[in-house]
Structure 1
Amino acid sequence: MKHDSLIVFEGLPFIAAFGVLTFLAAFFFESLWIAVIPLVATIFTAWFFRNPDRRVPENEKVIVSPADGKVIRIDEGFHHELLSGPCRKISIFMNVFNVHVNRAPYSGTVAAIRYNPGSFLSANLDKASEENERNAILIRTENGREILTIQIAGLIARRIVCWVDKGANLKRGERIGLIRFGSRLEVFLPMETKLCVAKGDKVQAGQTPIGIF
């Protein structure tokens, strides 16, 4: 199934629900102003689930950001159970105004997917990485490098959506899933990766270079 529609399929039930509320409010109440609130909610929800195209950098050595948002932390020499050695970890915080469709940071094969249920702490807290609901996607490149992307639910987010399966062949910048409402995404890169971002930088999924091999 392709996921290149202007608005992602998972957002349609929310948009439809607010749309029905708008219609009912306008139909049953004398003042149209009462319908403004659900109308604004309908428009915002449609905008939140937007799914724009992105221009992926031509340089094949470039690793792109898997999420829209702000870089809130960079860790060196970090270890993760799915990875064979130390790595560099970049944490990206997505607020409710960011596009929430996630993309593959690099081309390769999905070597593993691991989902963990958990809490719903605010996604900008460091302990959210270990305690919140999360979904890890491990990509193994053609030359054997490992890149791990973890989708992490936040305070408002209540659903992580993953569009890929183990064994899938991904292209850099390809859509891989989304997280509903405010959330966090972490990407783990090999230590030899030259980083292209710093704490505080704003990034766009599939478009902003975050590292280079």
Structure 2
Amino acid sequence: MQIDREATPFVAAAAVPAVVAAATGRSRLAVTLGALSLGLGAFFRDPQRSPDRDPVTDAGVVLSPADGKIVHAGPAQPDVAPPGEWLQVSIFLSLLDVHINRAPWGGRVTAVSHVPGRYLAAYRAESGMRNERSEITVERVVDGTTRRIVFRQIVGQLARRVVTRVRPGDDIATGQRIGLMKFGSRMDVFLPTDVTLEVSAGTRAVAGETVLGRWLDTDGR
């Protein structure tokens, strides 16, 4: 399985002392540090994903950008969404979830912003506007109409950094890798109100595979 390059300093920080411990005969410490190194590597695992439908040609499908538990699916929570009327899907990532993030919908990246903030528990609703986060806006013209979605990488109590690998002007595909969040976090996706949601709170989502919702006036009707 592929491991993201962000794992290198974390894995090395445990692996190098493990080698030293083994060389000096401290076998128990070496095993502990070796296990820690493997665990850190597993956190940065980057599995391949295969959606049921072709997201490149199906302009109506919005996929999950993250693995984890859906903690909100419905009208946007007060004071959390961007200005305007939105639906909101929030996904909480535990330490055991894959933390590679994917684009929920393909199009042109029109805005990327990083907002400093706090480190509240990511499952709390207010973390969506009070925690440190990166916000990405994607637009796409479908049947002559410009459609827009917004999604956020939000840090939590343990996740103190997000990595965002897209910039304004980039053209991205649905399901494309766009970055990751380190050590527990949350993803919020804000969708126009003419999208029909296909998930509910309490269920689990898989990045790049689970359909969050779709516009029914396109290929998905």
Q: Given the two structures, how large is their TM-score scaled by the length of structure 2?
A: 0.89
CA distance in 2, matches of 1:121, 1:113: 22
Q: Cα 1:80–1:104, aligned 2, differ >3 Å: closer, same or farther?
A: farther
CA deviations 1:76-131 (Å, max 9, x no partner) are 15578985630101110000111101111111100111110111111111121121
> Who is 1:16 aligned against?
12
- Following superposition, the deviation at residue 71 of structure 1 comes to 0.2
Do structure 1's residue 184 and structure 2's residue 193 form an aligned pair?
no
Q: Which amino acid aligns with 2:151?
A: T
Q: Which amino acid aligns with 1:9?
A: R
User: How many residues get paired?
Assistant: 208
Contact 1:106/1:141 (CA < 8 Å) preserved in 2? no
> Who is 1:146 aligned against?
148
Q: CA RMSD in A?
A: 1.8
For structure 2, which runs of at least 5 residues remain unmatched after alignment? Answer: 216-221
> Who is 1:130 aligned against?
129
Q: Cα 1:107–1:33, aligned 2, differ >3 Å: closer, same or farther?
A: same
Do structure 1's residue 42 and structure 2's residue 37 form an aligned pair?
yes
2:89 is paired with a residue whose SS is strand
Q: Cα 1:200–1:138, aligned 2, differ >3 Å: closer, same or farther?
A: same
CA deviations 1:35-75 (Å, max 9, x no partner) are 12211111111111011111033251221001100001124
For structure 1, which runs of at least 5 residues remain unmatched after alignment? Answer: none
Matches within 5 A, 1:43-62: 43-59=38-54, 60=58, 61-62=60-61
Name which of structure 1's ranges 177-186 and 75-84 shifts more when overlaid on structure 2.
Answer: 75-84
> Who is 2:62 aligned against?
63
Do structure 1's residue 99 and structure 2's residue 98 form an aligned pair?
yes
Q: Given the two structures, how large is their TM-score scaled by the length of structure 1?
A: 0.92
1:136 is paired with a residue whose SS is strand
